[in-house]
Structure 1
Amino acid sequence: MKILILVFLVGIYQVTAETHSLKYFVTESSQVPDFPEFVVVGMVDDVQIVHYDGNTTEAVPKQDWMKEVIDDDPEYFKRSTNIFIKEQQTFKDNIEVLKQRFNQTGDVHIYQVMYGCEWDDETDKVNGYRQYGYDGEDFIALDLKTETWIAAEPQAVFTKQKWDNDKARTAYLKYYHTQICPEWLKKYVNYGRSSLMRKDLPSVSLLQKTSSSPVTCHATGFYPDRADLFWRKDGEELYEDVDRGKILPNHDGTFQMSVDLKISSIAPEDWKKYDCVFQLSGVKDDIITKLDKSVIRTNEGSSGFRVAAVVVGLLVLIAGITAAVKYADISGRKYKSVSPASSTSDTSTSSAEDLDPKKKISGEQEKMLKN
């Protein structure tokens, strides 16, 4: 039995300049079942490079190319482990302080910090950020331009006043985010260039359950996940009668996504006006798939499509589970409008950011101090 899936590939494409990012997510949780109380995840271009949790108490590389760091700096992960162990107690103290400030006792609570930097490899422009959150809401963030802290909650005002008065710490954080962090980001991009800079184009196919069902434009096998997939009519993107799916990971490290188009109100003679467009960050040419009945794989009269549909369905299910596990590994909970941060006690300052081998950074500076 043959399974026919039409594939549209762009053979020649051009890579453009990109903005790279280095981010660290530090999470302390309280009473979250089957999840470590303390987790640190480092990511380059949204690819996980290092992981630490309070159960294993060991910083470990998550990409093969990160082992090159060990070749150049054998003490790298040992030093990182020691930093995270110190921060673990700091974060534990902080979440207790926060619970008191919000007049809370037990239940599930999440204290989280995200910090890091971005670097444009064409203009060499850098940008840093550091932000703290509590129970899924913003708590306090650093404004690098004014070198002051922004309190997002009344309970954060005390911390803001304390940190605003610590000029030396703020000056160091500005130096870290604008100098140290970008230097390390450039090193990581260089170490993982063959992996991080690769561009994998997808196969794109049109699927349909029945002749009256929406037509699904499905793209799979692309990398990185900075991509878009949408329907157009007469060259203009459609926002009505479409249902966009999320980007999901495949088992091989690539990604997939789909977007549905309702065709019940489209006259047969107008089908030629519609097409599905796939765009990948850093790639100049789009992959365009025309809405054409002759290329649609449908359930009606095709056992082959049934098998294909089941395979796609299973891939989506598996990818969804993988994404959920990966997301939990990063934060354990939804965290909105994050930016960056590090250790956290009254607001701490250390973490994976302290991986500069020439500079030893302690993580004790961010205690939240009780009133």
Structure 2
Amino acid sequence: MSDVLAALRLPLTSSTFGQQEKDAVTAVMESDMFTMGRHVSEFEAEFASFFGRRHAVMVNSGSSANLVAVAALFYRKDLPLMPGDEVIVPCISWATTFYPLQQYGLKLRFVDIDINTLNIDVEQIERAITPKTRMIVAVSILGNPCRFDKITQICQKYNLILFEDNCESMGAVYDGRYTGTFGLVGTFSTFFSHHISTMEGGLILTDDFEIDCLCRSIRNHGWCRGQPVGSPIFEKKDSDFYEAYRFILPGYNVRPMEIQGAVGKVQLKKLDAFLRTRRGNAAHFVNTFKHDKRFIIQQETGQSSWFCFTMIVNPDAGTDRDAVLSTLKKSNIEYRIITGGNMLRHDVIKYFDYEVVSSKQADIAHDRGFFVGNHPVDIRDEIDYLYKSLKGI
């Protein structure tokens, strides 16, 4: 096993930092310039270029990326979102996919997942649409692309906003195009365990200049400082004294630091190599478990970036998940719930305005599923160990 991995035989995640990242951190420390500046701006430009979008806005987490992007949609000049508007969401995602929608007064309509892909069941989306529906939130779960051919067709047919939460799926590809670039906005995470890491961090991608400007203001106290030339969201006044602290939107302070930007530039150069290794591990995992009827493993749509390896204990197999998890624990293999499980099963749902269109498959994933880690280093031996550990159950 690679010494990059921790003492566990198969941990959920591992560090991808090497000497280049440490040198980048040291250079920022020695510069004595820590708040958002040149390195963040350069990383934003490089990130946008890598994914073929015009604009990238970095914030301090993927959760903040969702918050800022949702907020921006409420302050657009034309057809802004309004409290009470309805949004279609999948039953399974991370909590902060949903929280900004609730916090801005939107009504959520939960649609079930496809048990094989773990993504929203595209065949059920249209029956969830009402005259109040304004947006679809598409989440490519754990690296696996959504069916964007069908989703984009539905958005065009009903004139809906497509919002992509791509925080788990950096580098995934559908129909020759990166996920996170199909929507009006797409959000990404650069948390420690994700495809590239800036320790904490997130980004918003868009081709829309107004949304880019709105996001830049909202992440930064809601002021006008730092707006691009020609920004359509305010008119510059004569006094530089007041312009430096002129507030134009209800915003937040969710800025990243220069260390995050500097490390991001290093990590982005490694992304292609990380993805190749993850996909090589995934090919071995799929080949190892494809005939094991005890487990439903994630069926790849497009080209997944394979955040991890999901396993659902097949309801028809007569196998108990507790027995599986107990064996994993004894075998020194880490595991956890699939993303955040079915959001409808969490206590916090009592604070939401929502309706459930369907949730049966999400319940199965919640009650019978788990995932184990994938890594940007060769873990084929660890996958073999996983299979051997589970063989006797």
TM-score range, shorter chain: under 0.3
Which structure has the bigger radius of gyration?
1
Quick check: which one's strand share is greater?
A: 1
TM-score using structure 2 length: 0.23
TM-score using structure 1 length: 0.24
